[in-house]
Each structure stands twice: as structure tokens, then as C-alpha cells.
Amino acid sequence: MSTVEQVKEAVEGRDANAEGRGGEAPVQAPLPSRARDVTLFEDRAEVVRVARAAVRAGTQRVVVGGVSVFVDDRMVEARAAGPCRVTAARVRRVLHGDRVLGREEIEALEREALAASERVRAADLALDRATRLESQAAQLQQQWAQDISRVPRGLREAEALERWRVALAKLDASAAEARAAAALARAERARAEEEGQRAAARLAEGRRERPRVEAVIEVDLDVSADGEVSLELTYRVACALWRPEHLARLGEGGVVELTTWATAWQATGERWEDVKAQFSTARPARVATPPRLSDDVLSLRRKTPEERGRVVVEAREQTIAVAGLDRGTRAVEEMPGVDDGGEPLVLEAAHPITLPSNGQPTRVEVVRRTLSAEVELVLFPEAHPGAHVRATLTNAAIEGEAARGPLLAGPVRAARGQSLVGRGKLGFVGAGEPFELGFGTDDAIRVRRTVDEERDSALLGGVKIRRKVKVYLSNLSDTSRKLVVTERIPVSEVAEVEITLTDATGWTVDKDGFVRGRFDLGGREAKTVAFSYEIKASSGAVLPF
């Protein structure tokens, strides 16, 4: 199919489509509505949308627009205020075909395509003329060669030969000119054909209809009298969520200002402007699926005599998962979704918000509280040669204030004064519970750590290992510092291996093997603190070190 035929077919198809659309039955235009209240959950949102409609007495159906296509059909509720009652409410989705370009742009492309087709037609005529001239020149050359071949050799005089050479040169020049004109016409024809194809492609792309799904809520009303009614629609929609985020600012005097933000996202396609926003940790669901149960196969075998005669000890790094400060342990280190401690909470924005439907995060301040903190410098010499600023706080109201709710788990940004010093995580903290926050490092403290080891073997095969840990502390500032140094020693789980802390004046050890000591370090002072521990293994124990 040529470019001209493609353009004609496209224009005729446009006219036919226009006639077909003119015969369709008119569709009831949806009523405009606005979102009034939005409650965001961890994986969806509940929207309350309001609209007003003028109704007449009798049974009537009202179509409300502005609804996302991701609305849950099963969770739609409708209420009406006025001389009517709601008999049914349902979601209807309509598929539309939107043109990529408008009418004026399409007409401009049509004119461009027609002009391209005219250029193709003109190029075809020029190519036809050039081809005929080229063919005529070739025929003249062939006829001239045949006539020359019939002349006897004896009659070929010098003057005749010169005339023939001149005639041959003229024929060659005419043929070359015809070939050049034909080549130029072919190039122009190819260029015009390419432009016509591009114009036809742009026209086809402009006329292409992109599918667009629009959702509306149809509300059936039983109206008792003419008038105006107010409709309130409540539904849940996907593609919207929120997560808590905190900002902890350490000020003078050990006061921490803790601000909680609700970071919300939505890509529902709805307009949420000046809505009353709430942020809930509840997990709405219609049904719950029980966990799958599977067999846990255990195998048992007898130990060999060699295995019964010795104990192979393994050394492993153990992460201590704690729920807080001396509040027990937790089965998992991190809870999925929003960790609310098992009790649903609802946080409310202080003012109406606008949440754009672009998938970008929007922070909304929900809680601001001031807490008193005990600030100290903690050191973990084995892990890092520096001193960290740690604040120990209690999530409790100051005297005269109302009771405070819990702190939700989430990321926390730490700042000292007006300077941001780092980011971290905050676990769930209930009301009245203590917790810790880190606020970067103190550059004035320098730490160096060494370990000395002595190993003795007993006559009967036992092993005794003595290790001495030395920590060198230096204060480069002029003010004194109070330091909390935390070290660790191995913890034995078998009777064949004993671990004892020795020479540990000023140190304490807990059940997890953490050794802590509190020391005062004056300005421009250096100090060395140390402790020792022994590892005793019986002859039947095989140590991993």
C-alpha cells in the first residue's frame, strides 16, 4: 500500500469513527466530589468522599466521580442526608479511549501528510520523465553504434571520423545528463517517500487511542421529595500507605525534643486536597489465613565412643535481641509493617493536609514531645575507636502534662543543636518505658585497645587461657568526661568449659558476657583501664581457638 493510499485510508477512518461516535447514547456525567477525611493504614487508605446532588421524587441513580480505579468494591458504603434513603451502592469502571493529540494537532498532521503525498506524486512524475529521457539517450547511442558499424572501412575519411567523434561526444553528454537527472529524481522520490511514511506514522500515532479506566460509584436513591441531598461515600483504596519517622534533637541541659512525623505516599489517582488525615496502625482485613503447619522431622543416632569421650566446642557470634532496657527479649529482631506493640493506634494531623497523587513522600507532623535525658559517653573499643554520645530517656509525661502514648518503631534522625549528626532506628517504646538514642561521636576522646594472651596446658590434657584486655583512653579537650566502657567476654554453655572474670576492679559483667566499667577522665588526661578473664577447659573439651 502506497503512502497516498495510507493517508486517504486514515482520513476516511477518522470520518467513519466520528460518525460512529455521534450515534452513541449519551452517558450520565458523574457528579463532582471531594475527599473530606482520609485514614491511612500500612498498606491502604480509607477515604470519606462527599458530594451534593439535586434529585426528584422517586427512584433515582446518582453517579459520583473522582474515585480511584483501585477502590475495593466490597468496602463501599453510602449515606445520604436529605429526603431520601440509599438502597444500593456499587462501583462501575468505564474504559475510555483518549486520543494522544487534540483535534487541531491531528488536522495539522493531516495537512502535513497530504503535502507529503503531493511531494511523492510530483517526485513520481519527475522520475518518470527522467527515466524516459535516459531510455531515449540509451537508444540513440545504440542506434548510432549500429549505423557506424555498417560503414565500409575504405570510406572512413578523416573529416568524417572527426564529425563522428563530435556526434558521439554529444550523445555521451546527453546520456550522462539523462542518467544524472534520473539519479536525482530517484533520490528525491526516496526522500519524499520517507517523509510521507513519517507523516503517516505521526498521524497514526496521533489518532491512536490510549485506554483510560475511570471509576465511578453509582448510588441508587429512593427520594421522597424534590430537593438537594448530601452524599457521603466511604471506601478503601490501595496504593496508599504511611510509615512513622522521628527527629530527635539534643539540646542543652540534657533535654531531647522528639518529633514524630507520618511519612505518607499515595498514587491512587485521586485528589486529596485539604483533607483531615489520620494515620492508623490497624491492619484491616476481611479474612485471616491460618499459618501452614508442616512436620518437623527429628533424627536421633547414638554417639560413637570417640564422640562420647570428648566435647567439641564451637565459637559463634550471637546477636542479643532485646525489647528495650532490661525488658526481656524478643523472638524476632524486626517486626513487619508498622510495629505498634500489638495495640492499634491512631495519630491525627494537627491541620488539613494536601497529599499529591505522585508517589512522592509527604511528611506530616503528628506528635511533638520534650523528654529529659541522661547523657553519657559510651565506648565499644572492640568495635570502634571512638566515644559515642548516648541519651537514656523515659517515655513519660512531665509533671502537669497529659499522659503520653507510645513511640512507634521507625527510622530516627539525630541532631545535636541545629546539626544533623546521623540516622538510626527506634524500636517500639511503650508509655513509661525507658529507651536509648545515639547522637554521634565525641571527637575529643581517643581509644586504643590491646589484648595479651597466655596459654597453659595441664598434665592431664586440660587447657587454661588467660587474656588481659587493656583500653587506653585519652581526653583531648579541657573539660572532664564521664565514660562508660563496654567490652565482652565469651559465655560458656557447657560444663566442660569455665570462664571466670579476674582482675576486674571497677568492672561488672552480665549474663550475656558484656563487661562494663564507668570511669572519669579529666581534661587533657590519659588513662589505662584493664581487666582479665580465664578460660578453663577440661581434657575432654576441644576448643575452637
One DSSP character per residue, 489-544 reads -----STTEEEEEES-TTEEE-TT-EEEEEEEE-TT-EEEEEEEEEEEE-TTEE--
Q: What is the rounded average pLDDT of the residues 401-409? A: 79
| Cα(390)–Cα(375) distance, integer angstroms | 6
- If pLDDT is split at 50, 70 and 90, which confidence band does 174 have? confident
Average pLDDT over residues 98-104: 78
CA dist., res. 412 & res. 418, Å (int) = 15
**Stretch among 218-232, 396-410, 487-501 having the lowest mean pLDDT:** 396-410
Band of residue 421 on the pLDDT scale cut at 50, 70, 90: very high
Per domain, the residue ranges of the chain are: 3-18+29-100+210-237, 103-150+164-207, 240-283+341-442, 445-542
pLDDT given at position 12: 44
- pLDDT range class, residue 11, cuts 50, 70, 90: very low
Most confident of 167-171, 211-215, 234-238: 234-238
If one compares 17 and 522, the residue with the highest pLDDT of the two is: 522
The pLDDT tens digits of the residues spanning 503-535 come to: 899 999 999 999 999 999 999 999 999 999 999
CA distance 469 to 467: 7
Q: What is the pLDDT of residues 121-141, one digit of tens each?
A: 888 888 888 888 888 888 887
Residue 451 has pLDDT above 70, yes or no: yes
Query: Which range (167-171, 183-187, 274-278, 424-428) has the least confidence?
Result: 167-171
Query: Is pLDDT at 3 greater than 50 in this prediction?
Result: no
- Reference 78, options 31, 29, 26; nearest CA is 31
Higher pLDDT, 22 or 64: 64
Written as one string, the DSSP assignment of 37-50 is EEEE-SS-EEEEEE
The mean pLDDT value for 373-380 works out to: 95
What's phi and psi for 274, nearest 5 deg? 55, 50
Q: Are 197 and 142 in contact (CB under 8 A)?
A: no
pLDDT beyond 50 at 249: yes
Q: Examine the pLDDT at 18 and tell me if it is beyond 80.
A: no
Q: Which of 439, 442, 443 is nearest to 373 (CA)?
A: 439
pLDDT at 181: 84
